[in-house]
Structure 1
């Protein structure tokens, strides 16, 4: 089993105005790791959706909003982002069952409540794991896309040296 190379931890209040901080952080980390632009945009969107779900749902019945803990776990071949809250949990199977196909006649807010965010995260990331209990833990995984051909295999320098 491969080991975590580094872990970066971030805790923000569960308020909409701080979700951008998580987006900026994951963008910087993914860029530093060498992810392609499109992958970085996908990761930012998925992480923002996970955090927005916490803001919108986790602490709804609590007078004072709690926090969102985000752990960025860096591996040799992937980035894992763990988004945790200690708010209200939910039944993941029920959300998946009602998400179904998107119906154009429904208002956007209704579509979001039917699990569009979950579908979006699963589409953008390579792996999504969600666990409930005391709050919710969402783990989003994006693998590094390695080039299929080894670098410099057919570079002019190597080709000329074999002539």
Structure 2
């Protein structure tokens, strides 16, 4: 049996909402290369879009001189995609777990993005080095029964 061949692709762009379409195109292309289903590609695209929008708005405060990096590593069994920035740190454990209805009824701004990401992906981890870098690692299993 052959060993799994792992592919790695990286995109680094200035931190601007104008680049979100480019990021989505990158994620779609990577998902297709990994032979993910259309539904999984859409979910991956939405999760990465939410994560990048959070970086642009919260970590960088719309500072276009900063950069956001999207790194995708995949083989036939899973897609591991990371969003990397050097902005203001964020402690995800401080986000309250509330139902979607509670968030909508209370009309809170924020909080939906991270909940959505956790729902769409199979595994979500954070690697934070205060003052240096923040990495959001997301994993999606690739359905082999196509």
Cα distance between partner residues in 2 of 1:41 and 1:70: 16
Q: Structure 1 residue runs of 4+, over 6 Å off?
A: none
Counterparts of 1:24-103 in structure 2, within 5 Å, are: 24-60=25-61, 65-95=65-95, 98-102=96-100, 103=102
Give the structure-1-normalised TM-score: 0.77
Cα distance in 2 for residues equivalent to 1:131 and 1:53? 16
Higher relative CO (Cα under 8 Å, sequence separation at least 6) belongs to: 2
Structure 1 gap ranges (5+): 149-163
Contact 2:16 2:63 in 1 (8 A): no
The verdict on how the C-alpha distance between 1:63 and 1:38 changes in structure 2, with shifts beyond 3 A counting, is closer
2:121 is aligned, of 116, 121, 125, to 125
CA contact under 8 A between 1:10 and 1:69: conserved in structure 2? yes
- TM-score with structure 2 length normalisation? 0.86
CA displacement at 1:19 relative to structure 2: 1.2
Q: For residue 120 of structure 1, report the CA deviation from its aligned partner.
A: 0.5
Aligned to 2:21: 20
The one-character-per-residue Cα deviations of 1:16-68 (angstroms, maximum 9, x if unpaired) are 110111111110111122111111100000010110110111112x8654100
For structure 2, the 5+ residue unaligned runs are none
Superposition RMSD in Å: 2.1
* SS in structure 2 of the partner of residue 93 of structure 1: helix
Whole-Å Cα distance in 2 between the matches of residues 34 and 63 of structure 1? 35
Q: How far apart, CA to CA, are the structure 2 residues paired with 1:77 and 1:88?
A: 33
